Amino acid sequence: MAAVEAATQVDVRASDSLSARYGRIRAVTISLSEPLLPEDCVVQSMPDASPVKWHLAHTSWFFEQFLLKPHLPGYRVFHPKYEYLFNSYYDSVGPMQVRAERGLLTRPTLSEVHAYRDHVDSQMVRLIGLLEHDERVRTITVLGINHEQQHQELLLTDVKHLFSRNALLPAYRAAQRRTVEAPEPIHFHGFEGGLHEIGATGKHFCFDNETPRHRVFVEPFSLADRLVTNGEYREFIREGGYRRAEFWMSDGWARVQHEAWARPIYWSESLDSEFTLGGVQPLLTSIPVSHLSYYEADAFARWAGLRLPTEVEWEIAAASVPVQGNLLDSAHLHPTSAGASPLLKQMFGDVWEWTSSSYSAYPGFRAASGALGEYNGKFMCNQFVLRGGSCVTPAEHIRATYRNFFYPHARWQFTGLRLARDF
C-alpha cells in the first residue's frame, strides 16, 4: 500500500473539518517561525539541515505540486521557478536545487515566501470547498498535512543546530524552569514470545511504510521501563566509552576517530552543560540523553551489557500504553524526567528511540507509481528505524506504528535510547 493509498481513511478530529484542520496545522508552522528574525531563516548550518525559509516554502510547494496544479481548474503557479527551488527529492517531478546549497537562496525573500504561503492557502481553501468529497483530493490533503507536521519538527531541530554553531549561542526562546527529579532505577518488563501482529491497520491515517499489517514471530524479551538518562550516559563517557573500541560497530568507531567524537553533540567539554533551544543550560542528570547517533546508542547498550530493542519489540510494547507524553504540544521543547508512572514510561515523546532494525519494507509493501511513491520507499537502504516521537513531534502526528528513519551517524535530531534484553 503506497503513501497516498495508506491515507485513504482520513483521520480528522470530529469537530474539525478538513479545511479547518488544514488551516490549523499551517498556522502552527508559522507560529514556530515567529520567534526568529529574518536573518535566522535564511542560513543552512549543514547539508542535512534546511533553512527555515526553505521549510516554509517546501511545505507550500507540496500542496501546489500535488493538489493545486493537477486538481484546481485554471490554477496558475505562484512562480515558475519555485518547482525547481523547493522540490526536495521528487525526481519524478524534475530537477531541484542541490540540498546542500539551500542556504544560498537569499532570494526569494522571506516576505515573498510568506506571500507564497498565503497564495497557496487561499487556493487550497478554494480546492477543498470544491472537491472536499473527492477521495483523492482528501487523501493527498491529509498526506500534505502530515508532511507539514514532519517539517515542523525539522524546523526546530534545524534551528537548534544552526544556533549551536553561533558563538553567541542564542536561544530560540527563553528556557522554561526545569525541575530535577532523581530517576528510579531501571526496571525491565517482560513480554511473551510467539506470534504477534504489527503495522498499521489502515483504519486511520498512516504512511505507506507502516503497512501492510503482518504477523511476526518473536522470542521472549524484556524492555526497560524508561529511557537512558544524561547521568547514565555521562558514566559511560567517564569510563572511557569513546576511547574503547570494543563497544563500537566498526563504522561507528571509524566515525568516532574521524570526527573526534567524545560526547553528545550539544554537551560541553566539561560534561556539565548542554545547548538547548533555550540556550546553554545546566546538564540535568535525570532527563533522557538526546542527540545520539545510532552508533553511540548501540555502544552504550553494549557497555551496559544489554542491547537496543528491535522495532518489532518496541511496537509490541508500545501497543500496551496510551499515546501520550512530552511532545511538541507540551511546549517544553526538551526532554523531561520520567516520573513515577506508568509501568512503561516515555514510550512517546522526549526522544526518538533508536532500534536495532534496519529500515526496510514490510512483507507485501508496494510503493505507489508516480512522484508520491518516492515519499518513503526509495529510502529503504542503509538507515535504521526510530520509534516513539520526540519533544518536538506534534502530538496528533505520532502513533505506535510510526516508523522514523535516519542514517546511523545522524546526531542533530532528538534521538536517544531505551535498553532491551533477551528475557
Domain count, the chain: 2
In a domain, 341, yes or no: yes
Per-residue pLDDT band at 202 (split at 50, 70, 90): confident
pLDDT of residue 367: 84
Contacts of 216 (CB under 8 A, 6+ apart): 195, 196, 197, 198, 312
In a domain, 169, yes or no: no
For residue 156, give the C-alpha cell.
526546530
User: pLDDT averaged over the chain?
Assistant: 94
Q: Is the pLDDT of residue 4 over 70?
A: no
Residue 242: alpha-carbon gap to chain centroid:
26
Domain check: are 42 and 160 in the same one?
yes
Least confident of 15-19, 188-192, 195-199, 355-359: 15-19
Domain check: are 134 and 212 in the same one?
no
Domain that holds residue 139: 3-164
Per-residue pLDDT band at 15 (split at 50, 70, 90): low
Q: Is the pLDDT of residue 5 over 70?
A: no
In a domain, 60, yes or no: yes
122 phi and psi angles, rounded to 5 deg: -65, -40
Q: Is the pLDDT of residue 410 over 70?
A: yes
pLDDT tens column, 108-127: 999 999 999 999 999 999 99
pLDDT tens column, 303-326: 999 999 999 999 999 999 999 999
pLDDT of residue 2: 39
pLDDT tens column, 277-305: 999 999 999 999 999 999 999 999 999 99
Angle of the 110-131 helix axis to the 52-63 helix axis, nearest 10: 20
8 Å CB contact between 367 and 208: yes
Domain check: are 140 and 204 in the same one?
no
Q: Tally Cβ neighbours within 10 Å of residue 389.
A: 28
Contacts of 255 (CB under 8 A, 6+ apart): 261, 293, 295, 409
In a domain, 57, yes or no: yes
In a domain, 182, yes or no: no
Question: What percent of the chain lies above the pLDDT cut of 90?
Answer: 88
SS (H, E, C) the chain: CCHHHHCCCCCCCCCCCHHHHHHHHHHHHHHHHCCCCHHHHCCCCCCCCCCHHHHHHHHHHHHHHHHHHHHCCCCCCCCCCHHHHCCCCCCCCCCCCCHHHHHHCCCCCHHHHHHHHHHHHHHHHHHHHHHCCCHHHHHHHHHHHHHHHHHHHHHHHHHHHHHHCCCCCCCCCCCCCCCCCCCCCCCEEEECCEEEEECCCCCCCCCHHHCCCEEEEECCEEEECCCCEHHHHHHHHHCCHHHCHHHCCHHHHHHHHHHCCCCCCCECCCCCEEEECCEEEECCCCCECCCCCHHHHHHHHHHCCCECCCHHHHHHHHCCCCCCEECHHHCCCCCCCCCCCCCCCCCEECCEEEEEEECCCCCCCCCCCCHHHHCCHHHCCCCEEEECCCCCCCHHHCCCCCCEEECCCCCCCCEECCCEECC
In a domain, 179, yes or no: no
d(CA 421, CA 401): 21
Contacts of 135 (CB under 8 A, 6+ apart): 8
Domain check: are 206 and 351 in the same one?
yes
Residues in the chain, total: 423
Domain check: are 148 and 195 in the same one?
no
Domain check: are 155 and 232 in the same one?
no
For residue 115, give the C-alpha cell.
506571500
- The pLDDT of 147-154, averaged and rounded, is 98
Q: Is the pLDDT of residue 203 over 90?
A: no
274 phi and psi angles, rounded to 5 deg: -145, 155
In a domain, 175, yes or no: no
Q: Is the pLDDT of residue 1 over 50?
A: no
Domain check: are 200 and 150 in the same one?
no
pLDDT of residue 11: 47
Which of 147, 9, 12 has the alpha carbon at shortest distance from 67? 147
Give the end of a domain, one of 132, 164, 196: 164
Per-residue pLDDT band at 377 (split at 50, 70, 90): confident
8 Å CB contact between 383 and 405: yes
Domain check: are 160 and 193 in the same one?
no
Q: What CATH number is attached to the domain comprising 373? A: 3.90.1580.10
- The pLDDT of 171-178, averaged and rounded, is 87
pLDDT of residue 13: 45
Domain check: are 152 and 283 in the same one?
no
Q: Is the pLDDT of residue 49 over 80?
A: yes
Domain check: are 103 and 225 in the same one?
no
Which residue has cell 566509552?
241
Domain check: are 238 and 154 in the same one?
no
Q: Note the maximum CA span of the chain.
A: 66
Domain check: are 92 and 193 in the same one?
no
Give the end of a domain, one of 164, 199, 232: 164
Give the end of a domain, one of 130, 164, 198: 164
pLDDT tens column, 253-268: 999 999 999 999 999 9
In a domain, 177, yes or no: no
